[in-house]
Amino acid sequence: MVRAAVLTAVNAPLTVTEIELPEPGPGQVRVRLAAAGVCHSDLSLSNGTLRQPIPAVLGHEGAGTVVAVGEDVGHVAPGDAVVLNWAPACGSCHFCGLGEPWLCANSAAAATVPYATLAADGSDLYPGLGTAVFAEETLVAAGAVLPLPAGVPLTDAALLGCAVLTGYGAVHHAAAIRGGETVAVFGVGGVGLAVLQSAGIAGAGRIIAVDVSPGKEELARAAGATDFVLAGQDTPRQIRRLTGGYGTDAAIECVGRADTIRAAWSSTRRGGRTTVVGIGGQEQQVSFSALELFYFGRTLAGCVYGNCDPVKDLPVIAEHVRAGRFDLSGMVTDRIDLDGIPAAFEAMTAGRGGRALVVF
Protein backbone atom coordinates (compact mmCIF):
# COMPACT_ATOMS: atom_id res chain seq x y z
CA MET A 1 0.00 0.00 0.00
CA VAL A 2 1.08 3.57 -0.67
CA ARG A 3 -0.24 6.96 0.41
CA ALA A 4 -1.86 9.15 -2.24
CA ALA A 5 -3.93 12.33 -2.59
CA VAL A 6 -7.28 11.28 -4.07
CA LEU A 7 -9.91 13.45 -5.78
CA THR A 8 -13.31 11.91 -5.00
CA ALA A 9 -15.55 14.52 -6.65
CA VAL A 10 -15.24 17.73 -8.67
CA ASN A 11 -14.39 20.67 -6.37
CA ALA A 12 -13.95 18.33 -3.39
CA PRO A 13 -10.77 18.68 -1.33
CA LEU A 14 -8.14 16.03 -2.00
CA THR A 15 -8.11 13.22 0.55
CA VAL A 16 -4.80 11.66 1.55
CA THR A 17 -5.40 7.95 1.94
CA GLU A 18 -3.88 4.55 1.20
CA ILE A 19 -4.20 2.90 -2.20
CA GLU A 20 -3.21 -0.48 -3.65
CA LEU A 21 -1.01 -0.64 -6.75
CA PRO A 22 -0.74 -3.88 -8.74
CA GLU A 23 2.59 -5.26 -9.91
CA PRO A 24 3.56 -3.97 -13.36
CA GLY A 25 2.19 -5.92 -16.29
CA PRO A 26 3.64 -6.10 -19.79
CA GLY A 27 4.78 -2.67 -20.96
CA GLN A 28 4.34 -1.09 -17.51
CA VAL A 29 6.71 0.55 -15.02
CA ARG A 30 6.29 1.14 -11.29
CA VAL A 31 7.99 4.27 -9.98
CA ARG A 32 8.71 5.48 -6.44
CA LEU A 33 8.26 9.27 -6.53
CA ALA A 34 10.97 11.58 -5.22
CA ALA A 35 8.95 14.73 -5.88
CA ALA A 36 5.88 16.03 -7.71
CA GLY A 37 5.16 19.58 -8.84
CA VAL A 38 1.75 21.13 -8.19
CA CYS A 39 0.64 22.47 -11.58
CA HIS A 40 -2.31 24.67 -12.50
CA SER A 41 -3.56 21.83 -14.70
CA ASP A 42 -4.07 19.75 -11.54
CA LEU A 43 -6.23 22.55 -10.17
CA SER A 44 -8.15 22.60 -13.48
CA LEU A 45 -8.74 18.85 -13.17
CA SER A 46 -9.98 19.20 -9.60
CA ASN A 47 -12.47 21.98 -10.42
CA GLY A 48 -13.77 20.41 -13.63
CA THR A 49 -12.20 22.84 -16.14
CA LEU A 50 -10.41 19.79 -17.57
CA ARG A 51 -12.21 16.46 -17.66
CA GLN A 52 -10.89 13.48 -15.75
CA PRO A 53 -12.66 10.25 -14.65
CA ILE A 54 -12.91 10.11 -10.87
CA PRO A 55 -12.07 9.04 -8.24
CA ALA A 56 -8.55 9.83 -9.33
CA VAL A 57 -5.05 10.40 -8.03
CA LEU A 58 -4.00 13.72 -9.53
CA GLY A 59 -0.50 15.01 -10.29
CA HIS A 60 1.35 14.76 -13.58
CA GLU A 61 4.71 16.51 -13.02
CA GLY A 62 7.03 14.10 -11.28
CA ALA A 63 10.37 12.32 -11.02
CA GLY A 64 11.48 9.27 -9.13
CA THR A 65 13.17 5.88 -9.17
CA VAL A 66 12.04 2.76 -11.00
CA VAL A 67 10.93 0.06 -8.56
CA ALA A 68 9.88 -2.67 -10.99
CA VAL A 69 9.22 -3.19 -14.70
CA GLY A 70 6.95 -5.54 -16.59
CA GLU A 71 7.74 -7.63 -19.63
CA ASP A 72 8.81 -5.88 -22.85
CA VAL A 73 10.31 -2.88 -21.01
CA GLY A 74 13.90 -2.40 -22.06
CA HIS A 75 14.77 1.31 -21.82
CA VAL A 76 14.67 1.50 -17.99
CA ALA A 77 15.42 -0.91 -15.15
CA PRO A 78 14.88 -0.99 -11.37
CA GLY A 79 17.03 1.66 -9.70
CA ASP A 80 17.00 4.06 -12.66
CA ALA A 81 16.14 7.71 -12.07
CA VAL A 82 13.30 8.83 -14.35
CA VAL A 83 11.05 11.74 -15.26
CA LEU A 84 7.34 11.13 -15.88
CA ASN A 85 5.89 12.14 -19.26
CA TRP A 86 2.17 12.83 -18.95
CA ALA A 87 1.63 12.92 -22.73
CA PRO A 88 3.55 9.99 -24.23
CA ALA A 89 3.15 9.84 -28.01
CA CYS A 90 1.89 6.61 -29.56
CA GLY A 91 4.05 7.04 -32.66
CA SER A 92 1.40 5.72 -35.02
CA CYS A 93 -1.54 8.17 -35.14
CA HIS A 94 -2.10 10.87 -37.77
CA PHE A 95 -0.38 13.60 -35.74
CA CYS A 96 2.62 11.48 -34.80
CA GLY A 97 2.96 10.70 -38.50
CA LEU A 98 3.13 14.44 -39.15
CA GLY A 99 5.99 14.78 -36.68
CA GLU A 100 3.77 16.50 -34.09
CA PRO A 101 3.89 14.16 -31.06
CA TRP A 102 2.53 16.88 -28.74
CA LEU A 103 -0.81 16.50 -30.55
CA CYS A 104 -0.88 12.68 -30.34
CA ALA A 105 -4.47 11.43 -30.56
CA ASN A 106 -3.81 8.63 -28.07
CA SER A 107 -1.61 10.29 -25.44
CA ALA A 108 -4.52 10.86 -23.04
CA ALA A 109 -5.88 7.30 -23.20
CA ALA A 110 -4.22 6.11 -19.96
CA ALA A 111 -6.22 8.62 -17.89
CA THR A 112 -9.47 6.82 -18.76
CA VAL A 113 -8.40 3.36 -17.55
CA PRO A 114 -8.34 2.37 -13.83
CA TYR A 115 -4.79 1.73 -12.61
CA ALA A 116 -5.15 1.14 -8.84
CA THR A 117 -7.72 0.65 -6.10
CA LEU A 118 -8.62 2.30 -2.81
CA ALA A 119 -7.26 0.26 0.08
CA ALA A 120 -10.41 0.90 2.14
CA ASP A 121 -12.98 -0.68 -0.19
CA GLY A 122 -11.23 -1.90 -3.34
CA SER A 123 -12.96 0.59 -5.64
CA ASP A 124 -11.22 1.56 -8.87
CA LEU A 125 -8.98 4.62 -9.13
CA TYR A 126 -7.98 6.52 -12.27
CA PRO A 127 -4.57 8.12 -12.89
CA GLY A 128 -4.74 11.91 -13.28
CA LEU A 129 -3.45 12.77 -16.76
CA GLY A 130 -2.24 9.18 -16.95
CA THR A 131 0.55 9.59 -14.39
CA ALA A 132 -0.93 10.04 -10.88
CA VAL A 133 2.18 11.40 -9.18
CA PHE A 134 0.48 12.78 -6.06
CA ALA A 135 1.37 9.45 -4.47
CA GLU A 136 4.40 7.75 -2.96
CA GLU A 137 4.45 5.39 -5.96
CA THR A 138 2.70 5.16 -9.31
CA LEU A 139 2.21 2.67 -12.14
CA VAL A 140 2.47 3.93 -15.72
CA ALA A 141 2.96 2.77 -19.29
CA ALA A 142 6.60 2.44 -20.32
CA GLY A 143 6.21 5.31 -22.77
CA ALA A 144 5.44 7.63 -19.87
CA VAL A 145 8.89 7.10 -18.34
CA LEU A 146 11.92 9.04 -19.54
CA PRO A 147 15.44 8.27 -18.23
CA LEU A 148 16.75 11.24 -16.25
CA PRO A 149 20.01 12.51 -17.78
CA ALA A 150 23.00 12.42 -15.44
CA GLY A 151 23.85 15.49 -13.43
CA VAL A 152 20.29 16.70 -12.77
CA PRO A 153 19.10 16.55 -9.11
CA LEU A 154 16.30 13.97 -8.84
CA THR A 155 13.97 16.05 -6.64
CA ASP A 156 14.15 19.22 -8.75
CA ALA A 157 13.90 17.09 -11.90
CA ALA A 158 10.16 16.74 -11.25
CA LEU A 159 9.71 20.19 -12.78
CA LEU A 160 11.06 18.91 -16.08
CA GLY A 161 7.94 16.80 -16.55
CA CYS A 162 5.61 19.72 -17.28
CA ALA A 163 6.57 23.30 -16.40
CA VAL A 164 10.06 23.23 -17.88
CA LEU A 165 9.29 21.25 -21.03
CA THR A 166 6.25 23.46 -21.62
CA GLY A 167 8.08 26.73 -20.98
CA TYR A 168 11.19 25.76 -22.91
CA GLY A 169 9.15 24.53 -25.85
CA ALA A 170 6.93 27.61 -25.87
CA VAL A 171 10.03 29.75 -26.38
CA HIS A 172 12.12 27.55 -28.68
CA HIS A 173 9.40 25.80 -30.69
CA ALA A 174 6.01 27.53 -30.56
CA ALA A 175 7.12 31.18 -30.42
CA ALA A 176 10.54 30.50 -31.98
CA ILE A 177 12.24 33.37 -30.13
CA ARG A 178 15.35 34.66 -31.88
CA GLY A 179 18.39 36.42 -30.46
CA GLY A 180 17.84 40.10 -29.72
CA GLU A 181 14.03 39.97 -29.81
CA THR A 182 11.79 41.50 -27.15
CA VAL A 183 9.45 39.15 -25.30
CA ALA A 184 6.55 39.75 -22.90
CA VAL A 185 5.66 36.88 -20.56
CA PHE A 186 2.19 37.02 -19.02
CA GLY A 187 1.94 35.10 -15.75
CA VAL A 188 4.86 34.36 -13.42
CA GLY A 189 3.85 30.94 -12.16
CA GLY A 190 5.75 27.71 -12.70
CA VAL A 191 5.44 27.73 -16.49
CA GLY A 192 6.03 31.49 -16.68
CA LEU A 193 9.27 31.14 -14.73
CA ALA A 194 10.41 28.46 -17.16
CA VAL A 195 9.50 30.72 -20.09
CA LEU A 196 11.52 33.59 -18.61
CA GLN A 197 14.61 31.43 -18.19
CA SER A 198 14.18 29.90 -21.64
CA ALA A 199 13.85 33.34 -23.26
CA GLY A 200 17.21 34.21 -21.75
CA ILE A 201 18.73 31.01 -23.14
CA ALA A 202 17.29 31.95 -26.57
CA GLY A 203 19.13 35.28 -26.37
CA ALA A 204 16.12 37.57 -26.08
CA GLY A 205 17.25 41.18 -25.76
CA ARG A 206 14.47 42.41 -23.48
CA ILE A 207 12.26 40.16 -21.35
CA ILE A 208 9.19 41.80 -19.81
CA ALA A 209 7.38 39.86 -17.08
CA VAL A 210 3.71 40.67 -16.42
CA ASP A 211 1.74 39.56 -13.36
CA VAL A 212 -1.11 40.75 -11.14
CA SER A 213 0.98 40.29 -8.01
CA PRO A 214 3.70 42.85 -7.19
CA GLY A 215 5.29 40.17 -5.03
CA LYS A 216 6.27 38.28 -8.18
CA GLU A 217 8.74 40.94 -9.36
CA GLU A 218 11.73 39.61 -7.42
CA LEU A 219 10.98 36.06 -8.59
CA ALA A 220 10.61 37.22 -12.20
CA ARG A 221 13.86 39.19 -12.22
CA ALA A 222 15.73 36.27 -10.68
CA ALA A 223 14.47 34.16 -13.59
CA GLY A 224 15.83 36.63 -16.13
CA ALA A 225 13.20 39.34 -16.58
CA THR A 226 14.72 42.71 -17.48
CA ASP A 227 11.46 44.54 -16.71
CA PHE A 228 8.36 43.91 -14.62
CA VAL A 229 4.88 45.25 -15.37
CA LEU A 230 2.02 45.03 -12.88
CA ALA A 231 -0.96 43.74 -14.85
CA GLY A 232 -3.90 46.10 -15.31
CA GLN A 233 -6.11 47.70 -17.94
CA ASP A 234 -3.19 49.70 -19.35
CA THR A 235 -0.75 46.78 -19.60
CA PRO A 236 -0.40 46.95 -23.41
CA ARG A 237 0.24 50.70 -23.19
CA GLN A 238 2.93 50.16 -20.55
CA ILE A 239 4.63 47.57 -22.71
CA ARG A 240 4.55 49.79 -25.79
CA ARG A 241 6.18 52.55 -23.74
CA LEU A 242 8.99 50.16 -22.87
CA THR A 243 9.48 49.19 -26.52
CA GLY A 244 9.61 52.52 -28.31
CA GLY A 245 5.88 52.54 -29.00
CA TYR A 246 5.92 49.34 -31.07
CA GLY A 247 5.17 46.46 -28.72
CA THR A 248 7.16 43.26 -28.29
CA ASP A 249 8.27 40.93 -31.04
CA ALA A 250 6.56 38.12 -29.17
CA ALA A 251 4.20 37.68 -26.23
CA ILE A 252 3.71 34.38 -24.40
CA GLU A 253 0.55 34.03 -22.30
CA CYS A 254 0.79 31.52 -19.44
CA VAL A 255 -2.50 32.16 -17.64
CA GLY A 256 -5.37 30.98 -19.87
CA ARG A 257 -7.75 33.90 -19.31
CA ALA A 258 -9.53 35.89 -21.99
CA ASP A 259 -8.33 39.23 -20.62
CA THR A 260 -4.67 38.21 -20.46
CA ILE A 261 -4.79 36.64 -23.93
CA ARG A 262 -6.26 39.84 -25.27
CA ALA A 263 -3.65 41.93 -23.41
CA ALA A 264 -0.83 39.74 -24.75
CA TRP A 265 -2.17 40.18 -28.29
CA SER A 266 -2.44 43.95 -27.88
CA SER A 267 1.10 44.11 -26.48
CA THR A 268 2.60 42.48 -29.56
CA ARG A 269 3.98 44.67 -32.36
CA ARG A 270 2.65 44.67 -35.91
CA GLY A 271 3.82 41.44 -37.50
CA GLY A 272 4.66 39.95 -34.11
CA ARG A 273 3.73 36.62 -32.55
CA THR A 274 1.35 35.88 -29.67
CA THR A 275 1.53 32.38 -28.20
CA VAL A 276 -1.07 31.06 -25.75
CA VAL A 277 0.26 28.45 -23.32
CA GLY A 278 -2.30 28.86 -20.51
CA ILE A 279 -5.30 26.50 -20.40
CA GLY A 280 -8.61 28.34 -20.03
CA GLY A 281 -12.21 27.22 -19.75
CA GLN A 282 -14.78 27.19 -22.54
CA GLU A 283 -16.38 30.31 -21.08
CA GLN A 284 -13.21 32.34 -21.73
CA GLN A 285 -14.05 33.99 -25.06
CA VAL A 286 -11.57 36.31 -26.83
CA SER A 287 -12.73 38.79 -29.53
CA PHE A 288 -10.84 40.45 -32.40
CA SER A 289 -12.14 42.69 -35.14
CA ALA A 290 -11.58 41.76 -38.77
CA LEU A 291 -9.88 45.12 -39.36
CA GLU A 292 -7.29 44.69 -36.62
CA LEU A 293 -6.45 41.19 -37.82
CA PHE A 294 -5.64 42.71 -41.20
CA TYR A 295 -3.92 45.85 -39.95
CA PHE A 296 -1.63 44.38 -37.30
CA GLY A 297 -0.64 41.27 -39.24
CA ARG A 298 0.09 39.44 -36.00
CA THR A 299 -0.06 35.69 -35.58
CA LEU A 300 -1.96 34.06 -32.70
CA ALA A 301 -1.09 30.45 -31.91
CA GLY A 302 -1.94 27.87 -29.31
CA CYS A 303 0.72 25.73 -27.68
CA VAL A 304 0.34 22.18 -26.33
CA TYR A 305 3.05 20.92 -23.95
CA GLY A 306 5.40 23.48 -25.46
CA ASN A 307 5.08 21.78 -28.88
CA CYS A 308 7.81 19.54 -27.47
CA ASP A 309 9.02 16.06 -28.20
CA PRO A 310 10.10 15.17 -24.65
CA VAL A 311 12.34 12.34 -25.83
CA LYS A 312 14.42 14.82 -27.87
CA ASP A 313 14.04 17.96 -25.75
CA LEU A 314 14.73 16.54 -22.28
CA PRO A 315 18.45 15.88 -22.93
CA VAL A 316 18.85 19.39 -24.36
CA ILE A 317 17.25 20.99 -21.32
CA ALA A 318 19.30 18.78 -19.00
CA GLU A 319 22.47 20.15 -20.59
CA HIS A 320 21.28 23.71 -19.86
CA VAL A 321 20.68 22.65 -16.23
CA ARG A 322 24.14 21.09 -15.90
CA ALA A 323 25.75 24.17 -17.44
CA GLY A 324 23.99 26.47 -14.97
CA ARG A 325 21.91 28.20 -17.64
CA PHE A 326 18.64 26.86 -16.21
CA ASP A 327 17.95 26.98 -12.46
CA LEU A 328 15.37 24.40 -11.42
CA SER A 329 15.54 24.99 -7.68
CA GLY A 330 14.98 28.73 -8.17
CA MET A 331 11.50 27.98 -9.53
CA VAL A 332 10.41 26.28 -6.31
CA THR A 333 8.85 28.61 -3.77
CA ASP A 334 7.31 25.98 -1.47
CA ARG A 335 8.38 22.43 -0.57
CA ILE A 336 5.44 20.55 0.92
CA ASP A 337 4.07 17.08 1.63
CA LEU A 338 0.87 15.50 0.29
CA ASP A 339 -1.24 17.22 2.95
CA GLY A 340 -0.04 20.61 1.68
CA ILE A 341 -1.54 20.28 -1.81
CA PRO A 342 -4.90 21.99 -0.99
CA ALA A 343 -3.02 25.04 0.34
CA ALA A 344 -0.90 25.03 -2.84
CA PHE A 345 -4.11 25.05 -4.89
CA GLU A 346 -5.34 28.04 -2.89
CA ALA A 347 -2.06 29.87 -3.46
CA MET A 348 -2.31 29.29 -7.22
CA THR A 349 -5.88 30.54 -7.28
CA ALA A 350 -4.77 33.69 -5.44
CA GLY A 351 -1.79 34.17 -7.77
CA ARG A 352 0.84 33.65 -5.08
CA GLY A 353 4.25 31.98 -5.40
CA GLY A 354 5.97 30.08 -8.18
CA ARG A 355 6.00 26.26 -8.09
CA ALA A 356 5.05 24.20 -5.05
CA LEU A 357 6.90 20.88 -4.94
CA VAL A 358 5.67 17.82 -3.06
CA VAL A 359 8.78 16.13 -1.68
CA PHE A 360 8.43 12.51 -0.59
On the question of pLDDT at 348 being above 90, the answer is: no
Mean predicted confidence (pLDDT) in 205-232: 96
* Rounded Cα–Cα distance for residues 359 and 33 (Å): 8
Mean predicted confidence (pLDDT) in 168-176: 98
Looking at domain 166-304, its CATH architecture is: 3-Layer(aba) Sandwich (3.40)
pLDDT band at 351 (very low <50, low <70, confident <90, very high): confident
H helical segments located in 39-145: 40-46, 94-97
Share of the chain above pLDDT 90, in %: 91
List CB contacts of 76: < 8 A, sequence separation 6 or more: 29, 66, 69, 82, 142, 145, 147
Q: What confidence score (pLDDT) does residue 280 get?
A: 87
List CB contacts of 109: < 8 A, sequence separation 6 or more: 130
Cβ neighbours around 342 below 10 Å, total: 16
Q: Each residue of 119-131: pLDDT tens digit? A: 989 999 999 999 9
**Domain locations in the chain?**
2-161+327-359, 166-304
Q: Ramachandran region of residue 243, left (φ > 0), alpha (ψ -120 to 50) or beta?
A: alpha
| Greater model confidence, 350 or 275 | 275
Q: What confidence score (pLDDT) does residue 353 get?
A: 77
Cβ neighbours around 65 below 10 Å, total: 17
Cross-strand partners of 82: 64, 147
Mean predicted confidence (pLDDT) in 24-46: 95
pTM strictly above 0.85: yes
DSSP strand pairing (299-302 vs 268-276): parallel
State the chain's mean pLDDT as an integer.
95
CATH number of the structural domain 2-161+327-359: 3.90.180.10
Asked if residues 83 and 148 have their Cβ atoms less than 8 Å apart, the reply is yes
pLDDT band at 303 (very low <50, low <70, confident <90, very high): very high
Q: Each residue of 272-294: pLDDT tens digit? A: 999 999 998 889 999 999 999 99
